[in-house]
Amino acid sequence: MVSNLMKFVVSHKKIPILHVNNMCCSKMRASLQRLKSHVPLGRNYSSLPGLIGNDIKSLHSVINPPIAKIRNIGIMAHIDAGKTTTTERILYYSGYTRSLGDVDDGDTVTDFMAQERERGITIQSAAVTFDWKGYRVNLIDTPGHVDFTLEVERCLRVLDGAVAVFDASAGVEAQTLTVWRQADKHRIPRICFLNKMDKTGASFKYAVESIREKLKAKPLLLQLPLGEGKAFKGVVDVVNKEKLLWNPNSDDGKDFVRNPLLEMSDPELLKETTEARNALIEQVADLDDEFADLVLGEFSENFDLLPAEKLQTAIRRVTLAQTAVPVLCGSALKNKGVQPLLDAVTVYLPSPEERNYEFLPWYKGDLCALAFKVLHDKQRGPLVFMRIYSGMIKPQLAIYNINGNCTERISRLLLPFADQHIEIPSLTAGNIALTVGLKHTATGDTIASSKSSALAAARRAETEGGKKHRRNNEAERLLLAGVEIPEPVFFCTIEPPSVAKQPDLDYVLKCLQREDPSLKVKLDADSGQTVLCGMGELHIEIIHDRIKREYGLETYLGPLQVAYRETILNAVRATDTLDRTLGDKRHLVTVELEVKPVETASVMPVIEYAGSVSEDLPTASQEAIENGIHSACLQGPLLGSPVQDVAVAVHSLVIHPGTSTTMISACVSRCIQKLTVYCDGHKWNMDVCLHLKELMILQGAEEG
């Protein structure tokens, strides 16, 4: 087991290293390409479109579009599939940026942290707001690296729909699989974009097959590529039977022509497209009864007569029901296929009101929002990104934080535009807001307008919940996020440059933890050193880097260590007696315990009592027993790592009158140690394990 474990650890470490190497090659290639065609840099962040001067009235209509026209979407993918490049193109075509950013240049809008620019990866998800053909799109750029799975999870809760970007030469990759499953869990409708169609080795057919096989999804081919690899020049719109060709002389891909396919000029392509369209119609009809009736009735003789809008409406229903996924293709880098992708986002993905959030009725239109991201801005202090589910947010508004059970005031309200933010007077349900002034709100907190409003919602939830299922308590039902924070996998010590700087370091770590709950900080009781615990090597490295860059504090990291956990493989049972006389007092306690594996993972030991023990057990003694169990589980016998996934059963307990609780704890603790180290003369039967969830993630990464 230990050697198996080492394998995991080694392969896990390989992921970031491999990635960095790959990136360097592609960076060099891209730099060469850039020498040929250089797009002028110097981004000009425009104000909101349709805004003349700073007219608040027109601003109001711009910032609060009808909810049916809002799309909250995310882009998810395996690392390097082209999320950032696609996002950049989207922002450019939507008019929000005036020049094309390039990940290989390090000047993209969404990867705005300095490290991201240098490393060319997306770590912190940033929300970006833009308009497309009368729709308001809030785009949340989700990270793709295994070290940042928590970020992905959290963002998925805020999305109403997602675009999955694939490298068309690689098809479904390991991380896509992980994120796809997470999106399934949150029931998020998706569109697939087969990117990199220009790349040598790109294969539309192969990528579609891998979606079918690895993701077990039903792909709806809404497009066909015109050429592959170097020959890729555009796409066929299957629904409309049109050909979309990008002007080869255009620098930025803004120029493209859309022409109907004609028998005269494209007989072969028209035939192929008609077959694809008929197949699509049949496929959708199989999944949607309403559409099946339509097709079998009016249009059974000739599918060609079926209007494109009718087909689109049915595709939309199927997409929202998640019985199939529309597939489009293109090349973000070569500026082809991104505009139709944006059209598809507005046409096929849901608006906030088309999503079924069970908690909405409880709030009856009162404010309900989720803080899904906290950033620390040197000038403005903490910035909190919020998804508003109901009600409205305004500057100077007092809000109630359900998790923190505290009230605080929003000072300013901004519309997030990557690292640029536009000040606005109000924002309504369905939107993503960025607030200034909240000092206590942390990532994952649920926000209501007041404590009484939250209580009213809790009461409604209670009445309704009574019919369905009961949950722990009122407040808990109202918490939207409850994102499970995985146990850290790696840790290392961190030291300030001098003892005098320790308070500064403590402050910085506190700020970073509010932004990123997967970062844990503890104090080593033996050495008094501060210990950083994180999800991976890259995660800790980035934290280290940010401390220096953003807070100007040079720190030193100790060697990186794996946060092992120990667990038991078989049940063992033993009895222990502690008999000690201190002064004139005799302390005598005998306990019989059993330690056994549990099926569902649990960081804390599960404690059970035999009926005879629990019958008349004083609270003080029970506390003493539990303290003893918990302290014994802090350090396992193998490596001194915490013990988890175990249950401890107390079978019998005899306490001599006058025995102190400290002695009870000591006896219980000693008995567990005896159990786990020696049992019946055999040496321990403990084993080392990583946290189970991490093991799954690592295995997922290896599958690819």
Residue ranges binding ligand GDP (CB under 6 A): 26, 30, 77, 79-85, 103-104, 120-122, 144, 195-196, 198-199, 331-334
Other Cβ atoms less than 10 A from the Cβ of 546: the count is 22
Q: Which of residues 24-83 bind Mg ion (CB under 5 A)?
A: 83
Strand partners, 259: 243
Other Cβ atoms less than 10 A from the Cβ of 621: the count is 18
**Binding partner at 202 among Mg ion, ligand GDP, none, C-beta below 5 to 8 Å by kind:** none
Can residue 446 be called a binding residue for Mg ion (CB under 5 A)?
no
Shortest spacing between CB 178 and ligand GDP, in angstroms: 14
**Binding partner at 316 among ligand GDP, Mg ion, none, C-beta below 5 to 8 Å by kind:** none
**Binding partner at 171 among ligand GDP, Mg ion, none, C-beta below 5 to 8 Å by kind:** none
The Cα 462–Cα 473 span in angstroms is 9
Q: Which of residues 107-126 bind Mg ion (CB under 5 A)?
A: 122
Q: Which of 536, 692, 566, 562 is nearest to 641 (CA)?
A: 566
Shortest spacing between CB 2 and ligand GDP, in angstroms: 34
**Binding partner at 196 among ligand GDP, Mg ion, none, C-beta below 5 to 8 Å by kind:** ligand GDP
Shortest spacing between CB 139 and Mg ion, in angstroms: 13
Return phi, psi of residue 422, to 5°.
-110, 130
Shortest spacing between CB 121 and Mg ion, in angstroms: 5
CB 455 within 8 A of CB 409: no
**Binding partner at 514 among Mg ion, ligand GDP, none, C-beta below 5 to 8 Å by kind:** none
SS (H, E, C) 295-341: HHHCCCCCHHHCCHHHHHHHHHHHHHHCCCEEEEECECCCCECHHHH
**Binding partner at 659 among Mg ion, ligand GDP, none, C-beta below 5 to 8 Å by kind:** none
Output 84 or 182, the one with its CB closest to ligand GDP: 84
Burial annotation 520-542 (CB, 10 A radius, 16+ → b, else e): bbeeeeeeeebbbbbbbbbbbbb
CB 390 within 8 A of CB 365: yes
Cα four-point dihedral sign 654, 658, 664, 666:
negative
**Binding partner at 557 among ligand GDP, Mg ion, none, C-beta below 5 to 8 Å by kind:** none
Shortest spacing between CB 331 and ligand GDP, in angstroms: 4
Output 176 or 641, the one with its CB closest to Mg ion: 176
Cβ-in-10-Å burial (0-12, 13-18, 19+) of 202 comes to buried
Shortest spacing between CB 139 and ligand GDP, in angstroms: 13
Shortest spacing between CB 167 and Mg ion, in angstroms: 13
**Binding partner at 332 among Mg ion, ligand GDP, none, C-beta below 5 to 8 Å by kind:** ligand GDP
Helix (H, G, I), strand (E, B), or coil: what is residue 119? helix
Output 104 or 228, the one with its CB closest to ligand GDP: 104
Of the candidate spans 84-92, 370-378, 412-420, 641-649, the one that interacts with Mg ion by CB under 5 A turns out to be 84-92
Output 12 or 83, the one with its CB closest to Mg ion: 83
The Cα 594–Cα 72 span in angstroms is 51
**Binding partner at 195 among ligand GDP, Mg ion, none, C-beta below 5 to 8 Å by kind:** ligand GDP
Shortest spacing between CB 332 and ligand GDP, in angstroms: 4
Cβ neighbours of residue 253 under 8 Å, at least 6 residues apart?
89, 93, 246, 334, 335, 336, 338
Q: Which of 217, 123, 103, 140 is nearest to 171 (CA)?
A: 217
Output 114 or 620, the one with its CB closest to ligand GDP: 114
**Binding partner at 30 among Mg ion, ligand GDP, none, C-beta below 5 to 8 Å by kind:** ligand GDP
Output 106 or 229, the one with its CB closest to Mg ion: 106
Shortest spacing between CB 30 and ligand GDP, in angstroms: 5
DSSP H or E stretch at residue 366: none
Q: Which of 232, 223, 237 is nearest to 253 (CA)?
A: 232
The Cα 676–Cα 389 span in angstroms is 50
Output 161 or 337, the one with its CB closest to ligand GDP: 337
Count the helix, strand and coil residues of the chain and give each as a percent rounded to the nearest 5.
40, 25, 35
Q: For strands 325-329 and 219-221, give the pairing.
A: parallel
**Binding partner at 189 among Mg ion, ligand GDP, none, C-beta below 5 to 8 Å by kind:** none
**Binding partner at 104 among ligand GDP, Mg ion, none, C-beta below 5 to 8 Å by kind:** ligand GDP
Question: For the residues of 585-605, what is the DSSP string, one character each?
Answer: EEEEEEEEEEEEE-SS--SSP
CA atoms within 13 A on the CB side of 257: 6
Shortest spacing between CB 186 and ligand GDP, in angstroms: 20
Show the tokens assigned to 283.
Answer: 């496929």
Output 104 or 541, the one with its CB closest to ligand GDP: 104
Shortest spacing between CB 83 and Mg ion, in angstroms: 5
Output 149 or 195, the one with its CB closest to ligand GDP: 195
Output 124 or 622, the one with its CB closest to ligand GDP: 124
Q: Which of residues 364-393 bind Mg ion (CB under 5 A)?
A: none
Output 558 or 704, the one with its CB closest to Mg ion: 704
Output 333 or 505, the one with its CB closest to ligand GDP: 333
**Binding partner at 211 among ligand GDP, Mg ion, none, C-beta below 5 to 8 Å by kind:** none
Strand partners, 648: 595, 607
Shortest spacing between CB 497 and ligand GDP, in angstroms: 34
Tokens 């960025």, located at residue: 434
Shortest spacing between CB 105 and ligand GDP, in angstroms: 9
The Cα 650–Cα 669 span in angstroms is 12
CB 525 within 8 A of CB 604: no
Site residues (CB under 5 A) for Mg ion? 83-84, 122
